[in-house]
Homo-oligomer: A and B are copies of this chain.
Amino acid sequence: MYRTHNCGELRVQDKGKKVTLAGWVQKARKLGGMTFIDLRDRYGITQLVVEAEAPEALVEAATSLGREYVIQATGEVVERQAKNAKIPTGDIEIKLECINILNKSVTPPFTIEEESDGGEDLRARYRYLDLRRGPLQRALALRHKVAHETRNYLDSLGFMEIETPYLIKSTPEGARDFVVPSRMNPGQFYALPQSPQTFKQLLMVAGYDRYFQIVRCFRDEDLRADRQPEFTQIDCEMSFVEQEDVLNTFEGMMRTLFKNVLDVEIPNPIPRMSWYDAMDRYGSDKPDIRFGMEIHELTAAAQGRGFSVLDQAGYIGGICVPGASEYTRKQTDELTEWVKRPQVGAKGLIFIKVNADGSFKSSIDKFYAPEDLAKIAAAADAKPGDLILILSGDNKRKVQTMLGVLRIEMGNRLGLRHPKEFAPLWIVDFPLLEWDDETQRFYAMHHPFTAPKPEHEKWFYSDKKEDLERVCANAYDFVLNGTELGGGSIRIHNADMQKRMFEVLGIGPEEAEYKFGFIINAFKFGAPPHGGLAFGFDRVCALFGGQDSIRDYIAFPKNNQGRDVMIDSPSAIDDTQLDELQIALKLKAE
């Protein structure tokens, strides 16, 4: 070893010890005749000191050091005169006897500090330098810890981690599959898995009972902000279980992770909310329940006063923004513009200010007398000082969704979304099916293998559209602070029920055989009842770290064009390689 101790562990109790440290020069500065060097490694920073009266060679060596030089330094642990309470090693320094330069460094293109002066692109290009910074070191340490605790928890419950293949088969609707040409089988391709869904269900057929895997998944889709072409899931499946068993098992996992990684106690039990309630109250299937500002339906209270916009609406809803009754005209105008942006899509915004004295001021004063406004305010459960924001429209779910987006925005503006506060939630009772007006058919809200709730089976076998619409699925999402972290379902294991599902979805026997034949065939050999879920591991880590973006929680992420700018990938390959694979480029004209 090049060191006796790391740069984070020496304390005043080690006074008098002769030690050797190794690491990177964070900074070196002269003060009087002395040289002070901050030496950094993954474990911390320790101050080294070369005294004015030290041998000339040593003073010279210390003077020659540049930022990010790698050195080995030997000396005695001494107590500092001027202590630094900000770092754990701040009570001591090392009085150097020897410096060995292990490697020099050219000047890095940006500062390696908590806050770097480098722009995002530059830091991405030199990711290996950005990764030296404290925030990224802590992010990856957190990620390791979350993975390790996840494995320990699941192992303790008898889950087996089983690796599923990465070179699989492109599925018929695999437009978003990455494919891999096979040299040994010319003209044929593997596909990279979007998830191990099929394989984990096969493992249940194979009797593995409790499976998990922390596994890479791949999706060749246009990348929205903060999506990655390769991402990691905690993928799980269990046999002989009902929904309650799955929820309890993974509630326990999240509780353990919060406790062991963050020392945070989350609510016990984690609250559950039906999909219907979530939409009605929060306008979202992944509500942030760290703050209230719930949606209230105002349809009855607001109609019948001759204001056609509202009178003709199918649904009217509002939220009460606390303490915002003093908003200026400029502020309410800005909010109106905000909801009219295409990302929200509202036609306009109605507001009612509930003044501290109980009086009202609204954008609809022309149509509504104070007692009418009072009625609406009562329906909105508004309090003095509140600003009621109201949206309306034909489609209830659409209006609720807009109100949900507005609610999150107001939560952000009011600082109600504390990153270190954690409000987990299960969303349950999803509709099994979604009717699409355009194609006049049902689609599976989760996927075609999701089972209906047993008590709704009577409707599932009904031919009436309104019956089918009210069938709930044994499906569930784990939501944290307004982000969906995971989701899953109890699967259909019964051939007759699966047949009915395909029938409802308008998938004929041939199409079913073509698309799903392989798994349907496996299910003929005694599939057990089973269900599971998957968590988005990158996002779990980011939220545990109190961050929105997953990028800092992935060691080597790709940018929004799917490029790794550090290694400059993807890139052209040799003609010989193309030739061996027996494929050719066929680039379209722009």
- B586 & A583 in contact (Cβ 8 Å cutoff): yes
Contact B584 A206 (CB under 8 A): no
Which residues of chain B are within 8 angstroms of A165 by Cβ–Cβ distance? 230, 556, 558, 564
Are the CB atoms of B168 and A567 closer together than 8 Å?
Answer: yes
Do A526 and B167 contact each other (CB < 8 Å), given the known contacts A131-B203, A180-B179? no
Task: Determine which residue in A144, A175, A527 has the highest number of CB atoms from chain B within 10 A of its CB, and name it.
Answer: A144
Question: With A179-B573, A587-B186 known to touch, is A564 a contact of B202 (CB < 8 Å)?
Answer: no
**Cα–Cα, bound, A227→B435 (Å):** 49
B206 touches A494 (CB 8 A): no
A396 to chain B, nearest CB (A): 37
Q: Is the CB of B169 within 8 A of A570?
A: yes
A562 contacts partner chain B, Cβ-Cβ < 8 Å: yes
CB distance from A494 to the nearest CB of B (A): 7
Within 8 Å by CB of A175, from B493, B555, B580, lies: B580
Pick the interface stretch among A215-223, A260-268, A302-310, A470-478: A215-223
Contact indicator B167/A229 (Cβ below 8 Å) = yes
Asked if A179 and B181 sit within 8 Å, CB to CB, the answer is yes
User: What's the minimum C-beta distance from A69 to chain B, rounded to whole angstroms?
Assistant: 6
Nearest-CB distance from A154 to chain B (Å)? Answer: 10
**Chain B nearest Cβ from A41, distance in angstroms:** 6
Q: Which of A174, A218, A494, A569 has the most B CB atoms < 10 Å from its CB?
A: A569
- In the complex, the answer to whether A168 meets B569 with C-beta atoms within 8 Å is yes
**How long is the Cα–Cα vector from A72 to B168 in the complex, in angstroms?**
34
In the complex, which residues 257-278 of chain A have their Cβ closer than 8 Å to any Cβ of chain B?
A: none
Contact partner, A169, options B69, B131, B198, B568, Cβ 8 Å: B568
For the complex, is A401 an interface residue (Cβ under 8 Å from B)?
Answer: no
Across the interface, do B571 and A108 meet the contact criterion of CB distance under 8 Å? no
Which parts of A164-208 form the interface with B (CB within 8 Å)? 164-170, 172, 174-175, 177-192, 198-199, 202-203, 205-208
B104 touches A526 (CB 8 A): yes
Point out the residues of chain B lying under 8 angstroms from A493, CB to CB.
102-103
By a CB distance below 8 angstroms, the chain B residues around A579 are 586
In this assembly, does A31 line the interface, its C-beta being within 8 Å of a C-beta of chain B? no
A78 shortest CB reach to chain B, Å: 23
| Distance between A259 CB and nearest chain B CB, rounded to angstroms | 18
Q: 1/0 per residue A511-538: CB within 8 Å of B?
A: 0000000100010111111000000000
For residue A105, CB closer than 8 A to chain B, the reply is yes
A240-B2 contact given A41-B207, A128-B202, A585-B582, CB 8 Å threshold: yes
Task: Assess whether A42 is in contact with B209, with CB atoms less than 8 Å apart.
Answer: yes
**B164, A556: Cβ atoms under 8 Å?**
yes
- Out of B131, B161, B184, name the residue touching A148 (CB < 8 Å): B161
In the complex, which residues of chain B have a beta carbon less than 8 angstroms from the beta carbon of A198? 567
Which residues in chain A, 122-162, are within 8 Å of chain B measured between CB atoms?
126-129, 131-132, 137, 140-141, 143-144, 147-148, 151, 155, 160-162
Secondary structure of the A contact surface, majority rule: loop
Q: Which of B132, B554, B570 contacts A185 (CB 8 A)?
A: B570
Query: Nearest chain B CB to A181's CB is how many angstroms away?
Result: 7
The verdict on A457 contacting chain B, using a C-beta distance below 8 Å, is no
Given contacts A103-B528, A189-B571, A148 and B140 within 8 Å (CB-CB): no
Q: Taking the nearest CB of chain B, how far is it from the CB of A260, in angstroms?
A: 13
* Residues in B whose Cβ lies below 8 Å from that of A524: 105-106
In the assembled complex, A232 has its CB within 8 A of some CB on chain B: yes
Chain B residue nearest to A206 in the complex (CB): B131
Verify B188–A570 contact, CB threshold 8 A: yes
A572 at the interface (CB under 8 A from B): yes
A567 and B103: CB pair below 8 A? Answer: no
Q: How many Å lie between the Cα of A218 and that of B216 in the bound state?
A: 14
Q: Which residues of B contact A6 (CB under 8 A)?
A: 209
Q: How far, in whole Å, are A202 and B167 apart by their CA atoms in the complex?
A: 26
Of A41, A106, A178, A190, most B-chain CB atoms within 10 Å: A190
Rounded to whole angstroms, the CA-CA distance of A442 and B569 in the bound complex is: 31
A22 is an interface residue with CB less than 8 A from chain B: yes
The answer for the CA separation of A5 and B528 in the assembled complex, in Å, is 16
What is the distance, in angstroms, from A467's C-beta to the closest C-beta of chain B? 26
Instruction: Determine the residue in chain B with the shortest Cβ distance to A178.
Output: B180
Q: List 23 A-B contacts (CB under 8 A).
A: A1-B242, A3-B240, A23-B207, A42-B208, A68-B525, A103-B493, A106-B525, A128-B205, A132-B206, A144-B155, A163-B554, A168-B564, A168-B569, A169-B564, A169-B569, A184-B223, A186-B588, A187-B585, A187-B587, A189-B573, A191-B573, A203-B555, A584-B584
Chain A residues in the interface with B (C-beta under 8 A): 1-3, 6, 22-24, 40-43, 68-70, 72, 102-106, 108, 126-129, 131-132, 137, 140-141, 143-144, 147-148, 151, 155, 160-170, 172, 174-175, 177-192, 198-199, 202-203, 205-209, 216, 218, 220, 222-223, 229-230, 232, 240-242, 245, 493-494, 518, 522, 524-529, 554-556, 558, 561-564, 567-574, 576-588
Task: List 7 other contacts, CB 8 Å, given A3-B240, A127-B206, A132-B207.
Answer: A1-B240, A41-B207, A166-B230, A169-B568, A170-B571, A180-B180, A184-B222
